[in-house]
Amino acid sequence: MQIRPATHADHDTIWNIFHEIVVAGDTYAFDPRMSREEAFAYWFRADTHTYVAETDARVVGTYILKPNQLGPGAHVANAAFMVASDAQGSGVGRRMAEHCLSEARQTGFRAMQFNFVVSTNTAAIHLWKQLGFKIVGTLPGAFRHPEKGYVDVYVMFLSLLED
């Protein structure tokens, strides 16, 4: 598996992955009717680094790394990950997460924060915990799950400073 910055040639595949995940509506707080233009405005924002994971010359995942806030909050990174449905469970998310943490450290970020981890997304939470993230906040009923109704959302945080 190779992880590299996204290029224009990846746009169709990224949109396919993004659209599939947003329409499923069980992990991200995006409007399922979000257009390709709106998705790209988010995924390729000026202050955002966008990467893809490739296996056998096929893009199977994508992630973004960016400051979570501006100015006096810009030392904390934020990231988001998406894996194609037929590549899930094959370690793509973990490889992208490790790459992302490495990039964030090199960029000089002091910490990484996930603002909105849906509590029913147990695979993601398990992975983040294995990588050292801690749940530092719980947002009661902040996500409307398509089957489970209103469910809690976690804020997760990892210091990137050496101990």
Residues that bind a copy of itself (CB under 8 A): 22, 25, 28-32, 34, 68-76, 110-111, 113, 115-116, 136-146, 150, 153, 155, 157, 159
Instruction: Between 126 and 144, name the residue whose CB sits nearer to a copy of itself.
Output: 144
- Residue 131 burial by Cβ neighbours in a 10 Å radius (0-12, 13-18, 19+): middle
Q: Are 64 and 43 in contact (CB under 8 A)?
A: yes
User: How near is the Cβ of 7 to a copy of itself at its closest, in Å?
Assistant: 27
Q: Are 134 and 101 in contact (CB under 8 A)?
A: no
Nearer to a copy of itself, 1 or 155 (CB): 155
Q: Helix/strand/coil (H, E, C) string of 8-50?
A: HHHHHHHHHHHHHHHHHCCCCCCCCCCCHHHHHHHHCCCCCEE
Q: How far is the CB of 78 from a copy of itself (least distance, A)?
A: 11
Q: Rank residues 50 and 68 by Cβ distance to a copy of itself and give the closer one.
A: 68
Q: How far is the CB of 77 from a copy of itself (least distance, A)?
A: 11
- Of the two residues 9 and 161, which places its CB atom closer to a copy of itself in the complex? 161
